[in-house]
Amino acid sequence: MVDVLDPGNLSGTQKAAIFLMAMGEEYATAVFEKMTEQEIAEIAFEMSKVEHITPEMLKAVSMDFVEKFEGESKMIVEGDSFIKNVVTKTLKENEAKAILEDLEKKKQDKPFIWSRNVNVGTLAGYVEGEHPQTIAMILAHMPSEISSEIIMSLPDEQKGDIALRIARLGQISEDVVRDVDRALKLELSGAVGPGGKAGGLEVLVDIINGVDKSTEDSVMEYVEEDDAEMANEIRNLMFVFEDLTNIDDTAMREILKKVEGQQLTYALKTATEEMKDKIFSNLSQRAGEMLKDDLEAMGPVRLAEVEEAQQAVVRAAKELEADGTITLGKGKDDVLV
């Protein structure tokens, strides 16, 4: 059996196994009653390989739990108490204290993280009523995928102005960020369940990478008119679908694991031959043949659907880069989707 697992490289099943073992037999039994036989077998197999649960292993699992559920108002209260009980009952007092302090610090480093659990339409309605500079600050601190959706919902005449403000946003006082975070969360308390950072070009680029083509064009046109040099910098930083031809094959295979078959088919509808070759060379022969058949059988498709599918592939790539699984290069200003 394996004596100690690597805390930094735990699979989801391993985390579940560690978590249930830490909770004890009674709790694990109750959870197993809600699982399928296959799920129980997989987790039981991982449990059989664990002889010791180290503080590092439990810390990794606990932090993952906090990141996934801290945004829900009900889970914030119950989850904190839950983790505290698990950690304090499992570890020595000094070890438990260190882990809980790390968890608290990690939670407070993420203002607006709760926005992932709010209806975007509702959230956008509240944000749009703020001063443009406040909107820019909020969008710079929210998860980029949420900011992308909100900026798409803004009136066209506002999009470019907000984008420029994000790009030019300097370091924001931690107190200011937390005050706005608390105020907005309070206003949305019925719809939901904390260091400030700077805005800047990279923050804006992350947001633009997630918007639709019309919003991207509107933003870039506004920025181009106001500051052509900045517009060029943004283009140089943007990562678009065709830039995936420049990544290594190992990274491409990781990306393809996260992309649904239909999304990939749509994404390749307008792709260059180089992009298609890159994809097919990293698929199994059978998967490649099925994809080619799907492409040949596909009729006319709306351009917006193709662009959304390509953005989904790019988002999958950026998520893998964010968690350290792969490394991506930067986009090129002469590449068009």
Tell me the residue type at 236: N
- The predicted structure's pLDDT at residue 198: 46
Which residue is listed with tokens 């509107």? 218
Cβ-Cβ contacts under 8 Å for 199 (sequence gap 6 or more):
136, 137, 140, 165, 166, 167, 168, 169, 170, 172
The number of beta carbons lying within 10 Å of the beta carbon of residue 160 is 20
Domain 241-322 architecture: Orthogonal Bundle (1.10)
- The predicted structure's pLDDT at residue 280: 92
Rounded CA separation 17/297 (Å): 44
Tokens of residue 203, six digits: 């923050």
Rounded CA separation 207/67 (Å): 21
CB 286 within 8 A of CB 313: no
Cβ-count burial 310-325 (b if 16+ within 10 Å, e if not):
bbbbbbbbbebbeeee
Rounded CA separation 152/148 (Å): 6
- The predicted structure's pLDDT at residue 314: 85
For residue 324, give the DSSP letter. Answer: T
- The predicted structure's pLDDT at residue 252: 92
pLDDT digits (tens, 9 = 90+) for 226-253: 888 888 888 777 777 888 888 889 989 9
The number of beta carbons lying within 10 Å of the beta carbon of residue 236 is 13
- The predicted structure's pLDDT at residue 330: 45
- The predicted structure's pLDDT at residue 1: 37
CB 328 within 8 A of CB 321: yes
CB 23 within 8 A of CB 71: no
Domain boundaries, the chain: 7-108, 114-237, 241-322
pLDDT digits (tens, 9 = 90+) for 42-75: 777 777 777 677 777 777 777 776 665 544 433 3
pTM greater than 0.85: no
Domain 114-237 architecture: Orthogonal Bundle (1.10)
Rounded CA separation 15/9 (Å): 10
Per-residue pLDDT of the chain (337 residues; tens, 9 = 90+): 344 566 677 788 888 888 888 777 777 777 777 777 777 777 777 777 776 777 777 777 777 766 655 444 333 334 455 556 655 665 677 776 776 676 666 555 567 777 766 777 777 887 887 888 988 888 888 888 888 888 888 888 888 999 999 888 877 777 788 788 877 777 766 544 433 344 577 778 878 877 777 888 888 888 888 888 888 888 777 777 888 888 889 989 999 998 888 889 999 988 889 999 999 999 999 888 999 998 888 888 888 888 888 888 888 887 887 777 887 754 333 333 3
Q: Which of 121, 144, 120, 142 is nearest to 314 (CA)?
A: 144
Cβ-Cβ contacts under 8 Å for 105 (sequence gap 6 or more):
none
Q: Which of 129, 167, 171, 164 is nearest to 150 (CA)?
A: 129
CB 70 within 8 A of CB 143: no
Q: Which of 238, 231, 173, 209 is nearest to 307 (CA)?
A: 209
Rounded CA separation 224/191 (Å): 37
Phi, psi dihedrals of residue 126, rounded to the nearest 5°: -75, -45
> HSE-up of 143 (CA within 13 Å, CB side)?
16
Tokens of residue 208, six digits: 């633009």
- The predicted structure's pLDDT at residue 197: 43
Q: Which of 263, 243, 264, 256 is nearest to 328 (CA)?
A: 243
Cβ-Cβ contacts under 8 Å for 131 (sequence gap 6 or more):
none
Q: Which of 310, 315, 308 is nearest to 335 (CA)?
A: 310
Tokens of residue 96, six digits: 């438990």
